[in-house]
């Protein structure tokens, strides 16, 4: 027997049978999102010896992932294999009682998540459309040290670092530091980046990652002034690049390149990660640092038995006809 239930508190995710592979799988991350004002709907499927979960919210007239712009990925929290697949299928069937539409993104598939979710919803009778919605640039380290990795970078990057590295002093921290974080916030606010989405949530996340020993925070100083900053974390053999910014007026210093090189060296040679993850987005400069691109998917599920689904189903069909 599999029983489905729904909860407005994310602490129930502690019982989900899944290995944590990124910050965005943890109950603590979902708690930060809930505290930021996003109302959670945690869907659970419980069997005799396992639990599967989907952390969701209700928005735009449908069920969507419990996520925000800081989230690299969203995925199901379920055990591997047939047991987990059965739990997911049961949960997909029961979700018809909650909404006519469930849209999930950005879902990875290098771990099979997008395929598992697509199959679960299809088997439960949903009409499913799966399409790529984003890109994820990554660096598989492949047992190289930093020197070996750096030797394979574009010559222009290597020359820039050689010429500019001594123009800034690098402060690299493996714990949260209030002054360094204040420097980051000042740099970001004066950089070319758009306004920070939720600075209070990001700081709390950085504090928690610092307390757990996972933070890698680097600040570049020029003549005593903080001019560039980067916020990374390290977990489960992977380094995640969350935020980076520099003062546009000091662009000539190439402080961002110097900081990135210092952080790559640290996570490769000291943390010995197997992968570096540059998050979502297909910015051209990421290709200089990374070597592979992975797709991120949107899985849009409509229940054809519910009248509210008929119009979007008709639109989907019309789009397919037009594309053909």
Given a cut of 70, is residue 69 above it in pLDDT? yes
Report the number of distinct structural domains present in the chain: 2
In the block, tokens 């998917």 appear at 297
Q: What percent of the chain has pLDDT over 70?
A: 99
298 inside domain = yes
Indicate if 238 and 317 belong to the same structural domain: no
DSSP 86-120: HHHHHHHHHGGGT-SEEEEEEE--TTSHHHHHHHH
Given a cut of 70, is residue 117 above it in pLDDT? yes
Indicate if 172 and 202 belong to the same structural domain: yes
Average pLDDT over residues 163-180: 97
142: left (phi over 0), alpha (psi -120 to 50) or beta: left
Indicate if 150 and 252 belong to the same structural domain: yes
Indicate if 259 and 318 belong to the same structural domain: no
**CATH code for the domain in which residue 240 is found:** 3.40.630.30
Q: Name the pairing type of β-strands 225-235 and 215-222.
A: antiparallel
Indicate if 197 and 157 belong to the same structural domain: yes
**What is the model's pLDDT at position 196?**
86
289 inside domain = no
Helix (H/G/I), strand (E/B), else coil: 232: strand
Indicate if 178 and 231 belong to the same structural domain: yes
Helix (H/G/I), strand (E/B), else coil: 4: strand
pTM, rounded to two decimals: 0.95
For 14, the domain range is 3-135+294-323
pLDDT per position as a tens digit, 2-14:
999 999 999 999 8
173 inside domain = yes
220 inside domain = yes
Indicate if 130 and 148 belong to the same structural domain: no
- pLDDT class of 15 with cuts at 50, 70, 90: low
- pLDDT class of 19 with cuts at 50, 70, 90: confident
């Amino acid at each position: 027997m599999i029983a489905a239930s729904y909860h407005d508190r994310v602490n129930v995710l502690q019982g989900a049978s899944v290995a944590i592979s990124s910050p965005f799988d943890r109950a603590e991350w979902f708690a930060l999102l809930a505290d930021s004002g996003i109302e959670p709907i945690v869907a659970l499927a419980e069997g005799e010896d396992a639990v599967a979960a989907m952390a969701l919210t209700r928005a735009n007239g449908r069920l969507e992932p419990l996520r925000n712009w800081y989230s690299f990925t969203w995925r199901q929290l379920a055990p591997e294999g047939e047991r987990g697949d059965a739990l997911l299928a049961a949960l997909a069937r029961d979700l018809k009682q909650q909404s006519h539409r469930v849209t999930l993104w950005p879902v990875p598939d290098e771990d099979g998540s997008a395929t598992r979710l697509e199959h679960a919803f299809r088997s439960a009778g949903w009409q499913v459309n799966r399409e790529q919605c984003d890109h994820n640039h990554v660096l598989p380290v492949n047992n190289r040290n930093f020197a070996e990795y750096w030797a394979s970078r574009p010559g222009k990057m290597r020359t820039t670092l050689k010429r500019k590295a001594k123009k800034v002093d690098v402060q690299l921290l493996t714990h949260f530091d209030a002054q360094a974080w204040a420097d980051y916030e000042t740099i970001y606010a004066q950089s070319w980046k758009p306004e920070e989405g939720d600075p209070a949530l990001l700081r709390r996340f950085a504090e928690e990652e610092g307390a757990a020993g996972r933070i890698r925070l680097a600040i570049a100083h020029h003549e005593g002034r903080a001019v560039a900053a980067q916020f990374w974390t390290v977990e489960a053999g992977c380094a995640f690049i969350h935020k980076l910014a520099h003062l546009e007026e000091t662009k000539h210093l190439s402080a961002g390149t110097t900081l990135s090189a210092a952080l790559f060296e640290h996570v490769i040679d000291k943390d010995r990660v197997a992968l570096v993850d540059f998050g979502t987005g297909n910015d051209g400069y990421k290709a200089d640092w990374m070597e592979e691109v992975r797709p991120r998917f949107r899985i849009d599920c409509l229940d054809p038995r519910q009248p509210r689904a008929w119009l979007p189903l008709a639109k989907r069909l019309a789009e397919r006809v037009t594309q053909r």
